[in-house]
Amino acid sequence: MGPVICDGMSHAEKGFLRNPSRKKEAVMRWKRFLSIVALVSAVGLGIGVCSMAQSNFMVQCPADNDGIDADGDGDPTNDIVCKHLTAGDGFATMADGTVMYTFGFSEVPEDVPPGQVFALRQVKAELPGPTIVLREGQELYLNLTNVGMINRPDLFDTHSVHWHGIPNSGSIFDGLPESAPTVKIGATFPYYYATLGKEGTYFYHCHVEVTEHMQMGMIGQIYVLPRQDQDMVLRSSGNPPYAGFAYNDGDGSTGYHVSKAIQLAGFDSRFHAQHIAIQNLPFAQLKDDYHLMNGRGYPDTINPNLLGASPENNGHFSQRMDARIQARQGERVLLRVHNISTTHLFTVRVLGIPMKVVGIDGKLLRNGSKDLLYETSSLTIGGGQAADLLLDTTGVPPGTYFFYTTNLSELINGQEERGGIMTEIVVCPASGCGT
Amino acid sequence: MRSNKVSILLEQACLALGLIVVLGGGASAAEFSLKAKAGSMTLPGGETVPIWGFALGEGPPTVPGPRLTVPPGEGLTVHLTNLLPVPISFVIPGQKLPDNNAGPVWTDWPNDTVTWSGSRPEGNYSARVRSFTHEVPPGETRTYTWSTFEEGAFIYQTGTNPAAQVQMGLYGAVTKNFSASQAYGHPDTIFDKELVLVYSALDPKMNEAIASRRYGPGTSTPNTRDYVPKYFLINGKAWPDRYLAKVSGTTEIFVGDRVLIRLLNAGYHTFVPVFLNAYVTARAEDGQLYPFARKQYALELAAGRSLDVWLVPSKSETITIYDGRLNLTNAGKPTPGGLYAKIPVIGPLTIYKTRYSQATKTLKVFARTKESPGTVVLTAVGFGDLAYRPSKRDYYGAFSPVPMKPDSVTVVSSAGASDTKPVPFTLR
Amino acid sequence: MRKSRWFGLALGAWAMLEMTTAAWTQAKIIGVEGTSFDLVARQDRITLGDGDSMLMWGFALGEGRMQYPGPTLILRQGDTVTVTLRNSLPREAGNVSIVFPGHEVTASGGVEGVLTREAPPDNTTVVTYTFTATRPGTYVYHSGTRPDLQVEMGLVGVIVVRPANPTPTPDCPPVPQGHNEAPPRSLCAGTKFAYDHPDTAYDREFLILMTDMDPRVHRLVEFGRIKEIDTTNFFQTVWFANGRNFPDTIANAQVPWLPTQPYNALFLMHPGERLLVRMATLGRDPHPLHFHGNHVRVIAKDGVLLSSGLGAGPDLSYERYTVVVNPCETVDAIYTWTGALMGWDIYGHAPGDPLAPYEFIGDHGANFPVILPSRDDVKFGQLYSGSPFLGGEGFLPPEHAGLNVGGGFFYMWHSHTEKELTNNNVFPGGLITFLGVVPWNVPLESE
C-alpha cells in the first residue's frame, strides 16, 4: 500500500508515524472526544485513517519523559510547556468608561471539558492576551481554538498565532494566512516552538486580516528567560542577588531584580464602534485615539485590580494586567517594552531614572566584544519592535517616577486629557515597600 | 565668603538682572531666576499667536526660553516665578529630578479641586498626575535645585499638564560642558564652536484655546487629540527668517572649525534633520555619550530628544539642514518655510559682500577672516587695505574713485589666504 | 474583514503567469548603470493596488515616460557622476531640482533655489549636478524644490554605489557552524560585496524604497487646484514598496500593465544564502519594516558602515526583527535563513536521508512535532504548498490557485504600522511584500 493520502493526513502525520523511536518517546495525552477514538486506535495500529479526523478541540501536548533537563533548572520533566488558547471576541473598558468591542486571545483552564471549550470560552477575549513565559530550552505546544466571534456571527474569519520575531521560523507555525493554514471556527491548530538560542523579548498576535485583527486587540506577550538564569554564581553577583537576566550576557550586565512587560498599543474608537455596528470598517481613517499600556490607558495603568467586567462582556474581566512598577531603591528594573500599535510609533522616557537600553528585538546589544548598550531618555519604538530597558535605582530618591510617551499629544483617552501612555514607577526605600 | 548683607544685595541685584550668581562656600551652582509669563509671538507670515514662555528678568517671554548655561563643574538652581493663571512646575528630562523635589502632584481630575503631593493617595486609582515635580502656584516663586548637574544639552520645560503647557512655549535649552572647549570628559568631544538648535512646532488653534482657558474637560478642545502643528520652528524662527543664521551661543563658523551642533526637539513629533553635502558625527543623545560615534547625514530627532553631533566644514559653503519629514512650509503656504536651516561657514578669508556704486564711483568690500584682529593685514588687490571694524568684527574698505565696475575683486591676507568674489551691479 | 476582491483575482492572474517560471528572479537590483544620466521631470499616472489611477510627477530617463520611483542609478565607487535635469512638468508645478543626501554635489545652470539649483518648467533649461561617488552604499535622491509637495507627487529615487573592492567571486556562501555543506559551485549566485570589507559579503540583493501618499493632494493637482494644497494637513492613506501597492508588489518587474511602475518587491532565495537588503524611505512618515522568518543584521546606515574604525568592517552591526527607516535615511542589512534550531527536520527527512545544502544537522531526521488538523478545519494560504516541509507539496483544495513556488516558505516582509497595509480603505494592500525561501533544487538566476 502506497502512502496514505486522505482527509487530514499530510506528510506531517506520516512523518510523525514513521519514527516512533525518536529521542523523545512521545506519549500523547488526548483530550477524550468521541470522534477521536477511532483515530487513536488507528494510530496505534500504524495505519492511516480516512474518517473525519476531527481536531476540533484536540490539544496536542506530549509528556516530557525523555529524562533530559533541557532548560537546566534541575527538573527533567518540565521542559514541555502546553498552552491552550482561544481566539474570539469580547469587550474591554477604556479609562473613560467607554466599552469597546474587541477580538482577543484567552487561555482555556485545565478543567474545561473539550465539549465545552467552544461554549464556555466565547466572549472571553483578553486585552492583552495571556502572557507566555518560557525558559530557554523548553518547547512550547500552543494549541489555538477558534471559538468564533459571537457578537459578529456574520464573520467566519480564521485566526492564527504569529510569534513575532522568533528567529529562523518556518511557515507552518508562522501564522501568516497567505503562506500557512489558519484555523476555522470550531477547530484547533497546534503550534510548536523550540526556544534554544531564542532568549529575549517577543510578542504574539493574530496575522489573519492583520490590520483589523490587531487593531481589534488580538495581541499578547511572550518572552523567553535566558539559560543564564540558572547560573547561581552569576545571580549572586548582584547586590542583592539578581532575580534573573535579560540575556545570556556572560557577565551579569543585564541582571535585574524586578521585571515588568509593557505592551504599547492603541484603539481607534470609531473603528471599534463601526465593527460592533456591522458597518464598513474605516481603514483609511485609522488613527488611534485611545493609547494603551497592557491594554489600559492612564490612570488604569496603575490600577492593581482586574478591569473590563462590563455587562457587554458578561461580567468577565477582560483586562487582567496593569502596568505598575515598584522597586526598592538600589534594585534594577527590567522593562520589556514593545509596540504593537497599528497607527503610531512612540518615543518613551522614564523621567528621573537613568534608562539603559540593553536589548532590542530579542537580541542583546552586543556584537562580539563590542558593547552597544547605551543610556538615553528617549527611545523610539516603532510597531513591531521590542526593547529591553534596564533602570538602575541606585541613588534614586524614593518617590514616584513616570514612564510615558514624549509624544505628549498622545497622552489621551479619547476625549480625556492626562491619559494614554503613562504609568508610575514607585521607588521604595531600600528597606522595603509596603511601609 | 562675603558678608551676608553684601551677598544678599548682590544676589538681589543679580536676580533682577537675571545674571549668573556663583554662591560662595561648598559646591557652586549656577543660579537663574526664570519667570513664566503670557505673551505673544509673531509667526512667519505675520500671524500672531498667544504663547506662554520663560523670561529672565522683566522682559517679555521668548519661545524658546532663554538659553541657560551651567559652567563646568557646577550645579544648577532655578527660581521660578509663575505669572500665569495656572500652576506650573519645572523639569529637565535627562537629569535626575531636583534634589528638593516635593512632588509629584496628583489631582482629582477632572475637577482639579483636591491635590496630593509626593505620593499617590492609598487605594486611589483615579487620581491623575498633574505635575512631575512640585508646583509653583500662580503668582508665587519656588526653587528647584540640582547640586550635581550632568553634562550635555537638555530641554528644560514645564512639568505640569505637559501636553497642554509645553506646546504653549514653556521650554528652552540648558547646557553644561566639561570645559570651555570640551563637551564631555571624552577627548573626542572637543569643539571650537557650539551651535544650539531648538526644534519645535506650534498649532495656533491649540494656543488660542489654551490661552483663553477654553481647553480641557467640558470645553470644545478637551485634549490634544486634534493637535496638528502648522508652524515648525528652529530657535523660534522659521525659514525664510534670516535671523535663523544668528543662532545663540556662537560667533562665526570658519572652515576647519570643529562645530558642535546640539539639536533639541521640544515638539511632540519626530523630526529628521538631514545635512546636505555633509556628514556629521553623532556622539551623544540626551546628554549620554554613545558607546561608539557614528557618521550619518540624517538624524532621528525624536520628541524630547537632544542630539550632539560634530561637523568640521571643509569648504566655505553654507551648512544646509532640512527636515526629511518635509515640514517645510509655514501654515501650508506654497513658498519655502518651516525647517530649513542655513548656517554660513566662513573660509579662512571670506569676502562676504561687495558693492559698487555707479553714481559715486565707489567700490565697497566687506570681508572676514579667522585670524585674530591685529595679527593680519587684508588687502583688496589693486585697490588698497581693508580696516578692521570691532563693532562688526569684520574688515571693510571703501575705494574711490573706481571708474568702472570691476567684474570681481580679490582680497589677500598677510597670513596667506585669499578670496575672490564677483561684484554685483547696483544703482545707488 | 472587508477583504479586497482584487486579492484573489489579481494575485491569481498575475502571479500564475509570472511566478511559476523557473529562474525568473534576478540576483541584483534593476536599475541603470553608468556615469552620466539625463533625467527629465514629467507628469504621468500610476496604478494603485485597488485599480485606481493617480496623477504623479516623476523622473524619466531621457525622453520616455516618467517612472515611480525614479530610475535607480547604479554607480561605481570612485566614478565622477553627472546628472542633468530638465523640467517638463506643467507650469503650475513650478521649478524642480534634485538633492542627493550623502554626496557632495556641485550644481550649475538653472536658478538658485533654497537647497540647490532648480530648473524652471520651460522644458529647455538644463541643470547639471556633479558629484563623485566616493563611498559605496545606498542613497536616495529627491526633488529639492517644495519637497513637501514634490516628494509627495513622486519625484523620488534611489542610488546604489557598488564598492571598488573587494571584487565579486564565484563562491558559494560559507557554511555556518552545525550545518551541512554547500552545493556545487555552479548552483551558487556568487559572492558580492556591499562595502570595502569582506564582512559585507552577500549573494543576492534586494532594494525596498518605502513611500507614502495622500491622494487628496494628487486630486487637487489634477483638478488645477494646486493653490489649495496645505501640506501641514497631510494624512497618508496609500503606501508603496518600490512604487507599487500590494499585491502589485509581488507581480513581476517591468510588466506592461504597469508601464510607469517598473520595479517590484518580491524576492526568492535559497537557505544559507546571504541577502543584502537595502532599505530607504522617502515621504512624511517613518516605516517599521518587519521581517518574518528571521532577524536581519544591520551593517550600515546612510551609506556608512557601522564600524568602530577604519578597516574594522561592520563590527558594530546589530540584529533586528523590525527596522525603522526614517524619511531620507537608508539602512543596509544582511538576511540569512537556514531553519536552524526549529526542533524538527524542515525537509521532512528520515534520519537516513541525505542532507540538503546548508541544512542544520542537529534537526536532521527529527520528527514533525504535531499532527496537523484536518483539511476541513483550516483555510490554506495562497502561498502554502500543501506541505509544512521545505520543498514539499501536498493536497490543495479545488479553489486554491496554488501560487507556491518550489515548496518554498514564504515570509511576509511588511510595515508594522498595520494601517499601512491597506490601499485607500481596502485590506490587504500597501506596504506588503514577500520573501520566499526555496530549496536548492529550484534554480534561481545566478551571476
For C401-435, the pLDDT digits (tens) are 788 978 999 999 999 999 999 998 999 999 999 99
To probe the interface with A, which of B89, B115, B128, B210 has the most A CB atoms within 10 Å? Answer: B128
B109 interfacial to chain A (CB closer than 8 Å): yes
Residue C15 pLDDT level (bands cut at 50, 70, 90):
very low
Check residues A4 and C179 and name the one with the higher pLDDT: C179
Kind plus residue range of the DSSP H or E element containing A258: strand A258-267
Pairwise CB contact (< 8 Å): C426 & A283: yes
- Number of CB pairs < 8 Å for B and C? 97
C339 interfacial to chain A (CB closer than 8 Å): yes
Pairwise CB contact (< 8 Å): C304 & B270: no
- Is 50 exceeded by the pLDDT of residue C5? no
Task: Report pLDDT for B9.
Answer: 39
What's this model's pTM, rounded to 2 decimal places?
Answer: 0.91
C-alpha cell at C334: 544582511
Q: Residue A238 burial (CB < 10 Å; 0-12/13-18/19+)?
A: middle
For residues A385 and A68, the answer to whether their CB atoms sit within 8 Å is: no
How many CB atoms are located within 10 Å of the residue C311 CB? Answer: 9
How many CB atoms are located within 10 Å of the residue A3 CB? Answer: 8
Q: Which of B277, B295, B338 shows the shortest C-beta gap to C304?
A: B295
* Section A101-123 average pLDDT: 90
Query: CATH code for A11-428?
Result: 2.60.40.420
- Is 50 exceeded by the pLDDT of residue A362? yes
Residues of B in contact with A412 (CB under 8 A): 163, 223-225
Would you call A283 helix, strand, or coil by DSSP?
helix
Domain residue extents for chain A: 11-428
Q: Which of A7, A170, A282 shows the shortest C-beta gap to C342?
A: A170
Question: Computed from CA positions of residues B130, B133, B135, B136, in that sequence, does the dihedral angle turn out positive or negative?
Answer: negative
Pairwise CB contact (< 8 Å): C418 & A53: no
Residue A8 pLDDT level (bands cut at 50, 70, 90):
very low
- Chain A adjacent subunits, 3+ CB pairs under 8 A: B, C
C316 interfacial to chain A (CB closer than 8 Å): yes
**HEC string for A190-229:** EEEEECCCCCEEEEEECCCCHHHHHHCCCEEEEEEECHHH
Domain residue extents for chain C: 12-336
Taking CA–CA distances from C325, the nearest residue in chain A reads A382
User: Beta partners for C415?
Assistant: C289
The overall average pLDDT reported for chain A is: 88
C-alpha cell at B119: 505620593
B340 interfacial to chain C (CB closer than 8 Å): yes
- DSSP per residue, B255-299: TT--EEEEEEE-SSS-B-EEEES--EEEEEETTEEEEEEEEESB-
Would you call B428 helix, strand, or coil by DSSP?
coil
* Section C100-106 average pLDDT: 97
Residues of A in contact with C295 (CB under 8 A): 165, 167, 361-363
Whether omega before B64 lies within 30 degrees of 0, making that bond cis, reads: yes
- Is 90 exceeded by the pLDDT of residue C199? yes
B274 interfacial to chain C (CB closer than 8 Å): yes
- Is 50 exceeded by the pLDDT of residue A17? no
Q: Which of A193, A202, A200, A192 is nearest to A228 (CA)?
A: A200
Which stretches in chain B have pLDDT values below 70? Answer: 1-27, 242-251, 426-428
Q: Which of C374, C382, C392 shows the shortest C-beta gap to A8?
A: C374
For residues A90 and A124, the answer to whether their CB atoms sit within 8 Å is: yes
The overall average pLDDT reported for chain C is: 93
Q: Which amino acid is at C224?
A: G
Task: Report pLDDT for B358.
Answer: 87
Taking CA–CA distances from A414, the nearest residue in chain B reads B225
B245 interfacial to chain C (CB closer than 8 Å): no
Residues of A in contact with C343 (CB under 8 A): 139, 192-194, 196
User: Beta partners for A89?
Assistant: A103
Residue A226 pLDDT level (bands cut at 50, 70, 90):
very high
Q: Which of A377, A380, A412 shows the shortest C-beta gap to B223?
A: A412
A154 interfacial to chain C (CB closer than 8 Å): no
How many CB atoms are located within 10 Å of the residue C114 CB? Answer: 20
Q: Which of C2, C320, C324 shows the shortest C-beta gap to A281?
A: C2
Task: Report pLDDT for B243.
Answer: 57
Write down the H helix ranges in A73-165.
Answer: 117-120
Exposure string of B365-400, with b = 16+ CB inside 10 Å and e = fewer, is bbbbbbbeeeebebbbeebeebeeeeeeebbebbbe
Cβ partners under 8 Å of residue B167, min gap 6 = A408, A409, B201, B202, B203, B206, B207, B210, B224, B227, B267, B268
Round to whole Å and give the CA distance between A181 and A171. 9
Task: Report pLDDT for B246.
Answer: 53
- Is 80 exceeded by the pLDDT of residue C377? yes
**CATH homologous superfamily for the domain C12-336:** Cupredoxins -  blue copper proteins (2.60.40.420)
Task: Report pLDDT for B29.
Answer: 85
Residues of B in contact with A349 (CB under 8 A): 93, 304
To probe the interface with A, which of B126, B148, B149, B225 has the most A CB atoms within 10 Å? Answer: B225
Q: Give the lowest-confidence range in A32-41, A284-293, B45-54.
A: A32-41
Residues of B in contact with A408 (CB under 8 A): 162-163, 166-167, 224, 268, 303
Residue A119 pLDDT level (bands cut at 50, 70, 90):
confident
Q: Residue B164 burial (CB < 10 Å; 0-12/13-18/19+)?
A: buried
Longest dimension (CA), chain A: 76
Task: Report pLDDT for B316.
Answer: 75
Contact residues, B window 224-253, toward A, CB-based 8 Å cutoff: 224-225, 227
Task: Report pLDDT for B242.
Answer: 63
- Is 80 exceeded by the pLDDT of residue C81? yes
